[in-house]
Structure 1
Amino acid sequence: MPDCRLYLITPPALPDPARFAAEDLARALDAGDVAALQIRLKGAPDEAILRATAAILPVAQSRGVAVLMNDSMELAKRSGCDGVHLGQQDGDLLAARKLLGTEATIGVTCHDSRHLAMEAGEAGADYVAFGAFFPTSTKETVHKPEPEILEWWSEMFEIPCVAIGGISPANCAPLVRAGADFLAVIGAVWSHPEGPAAGVRAMNAAIAAA
């Protein structure tokens, strides 16, 4: 397996989750190496998120791709996800571990903060996420770390780190070289002009070339 792998995040809205799972997601996951998929449907009601997750889980898990719920440890538990990704306002990592168990994957957003990352590592996070490295239309960019934070983290700690924020085949090389274990992407795959499968292939090729 490559040292750096792809971490997909769902498109921000899924009007037809069953179709998305059977078509776009299946094609993307069959096109190349994808380590994980995060279900991030901001603003959607819980029931809609659970319906989407029910469609997505079998497609991803049958291909060996871990599925993480964004923000909500409760929804991660109810839906049977492999873990949860917690923002800084999304609850306590220790509470998530207690609820989801020792086997669950729990990641934590650490923005551009070495302090937050060390705290998360000490609390037992399975990975820490830094970003946004580049401008992104998905959310307002408040924190903008430099690739050096990935270098520092990977030299100091064994826990994997995820880079996120506006990452594309054209700009990912410095992040790969700095030590990112995973690159989290949305638009680079789902908005690729030739479709999601081409997006995964392009990202994997760029990671390998870096």
Structure 2
Amino acid sequence: MLAEALDAGDVAALQIRLKDADDDAVRRATEALLPIAQAREVAVLMNDRADLAVELGCDGAHLGQEDGDHAAARRLLGPDRTLGITCHGSRHLAMEAGETGADYVAFGAFFPTTTKEARHRAEPELLEWWSEFFELPSVAIGGITAANCAPLVQAGADFLAVVGAVWNHPDGPAAGVRAMNRAIAEAAG
């Protein structure tokens, strides 16, 4: 199923996000998923854990604000692995992330989401501001679908992080990827 989804269109990265799993389960999942994604030149990012990203050969890690020392994670990942940092709706946190050496900043949630409790909300204007003043890429997160992504693309999001839009698509994940790719192309048009 993962291979079909990744083959269906443009996918920049796959995040391994297993919040309630123990380290052994994360290792097993990563060992199964990593070769599928990397064979398609799709970066694999470990959620929350820079140490596991390095140990398992992932392309990088994505950290939230409560996921440890971001500067230490940058050092651990080194210059060849990606570090992304969630900045919620905060300009200040985004600028700090850039100073820490993040390779991208993530803003959101932009829409209601069932993936996790969205304590922070972001507006498209934040993406406009970021893209006007900074070269560091931005990722929009939170409840994004093919039906609602246009304002985020038009506001300057460099990437869109999606879960349900792909994995819960009624016609399957490959159809979800195709739908997202179409919607992004139309919005960027």
Amino acid at match of 2:56: S
Q: State yes or no: 1:148 paired with 2:125.
A: yes
1:48 to 25, 29, 32: 25
Deviation sequence 1:49-88 (CA, Å, 0-9, x none): 0100000110000100000000011111111100000100
- What residue in structure 2 maps to residue 28 of structure 1? 5
Amino acid at match of 1:170: A
Please give the TM-score of this superposition, normalised by the length of structure 1: 0.88
Instruction: Quote the sequence identity (%).
Output: 75
Q: For residues 176 and 99 of structure 1, what CA distance do their matches in structure 2 show?
A: 32
- Flag structure 1 segments of 5+ consecutive residues without an equivalent: 1-23
Q: For residues 146 and 101 of structure 1, what CA distance do their matches in structure 2 show?
A: 32
| Matched-pair contact (CA < 8 Å) for 2:74–2:100 | no
1:181 to 158, 164, 182: 158
CA RMSD of aligned residues (A): 0.6
2:173 to 169, 186, 196: 196
Q: For residues 114 and 98 of structure 1, what CA distance do their matches in structure 2 show?
A: 23
Q: For residues 118 and 101 of structure 1, what CA distance do their matches in structure 2 show?
A: 20
- What residue in structure 2 maps to residue 129 of structure 1? 106
Amino acid at match of 1:46: D
- What residue in structure 2 maps to residue 157 of structure 1? 134
Amino acid at match of 2:112: P
Amino acid at match of 2:168: S
**Which structure exhibits the higher relative contact order, with contacts defined as CA atoms closer than 8 Å and separated by 6 or more residues?**
1
Shift of 1:93: 2.1
Q: State how 1:107-118 maps to structure 2 within 5 Å.
A: 107-118=84-95
- Flag structure 2 segments of 5+ consecutive residues without an equivalent: none
Please give the TM-score of this superposition, normalised by the length of structure 2: 0.98
Paired residue secondary structure (1:198): helix
- What residue in structure 2 maps to residue 63 of structure 1? 40
Name the stretch that deviates more: 75-84 or 178-187.
Answer: 75-84
Paired residue secondary structure (1:135): coil
| Matched-pair contact (CA < 8 Å) for 2:45–2:62 | yes
Residue-pair matches, total: 187
Shift of 1:92: 1.8
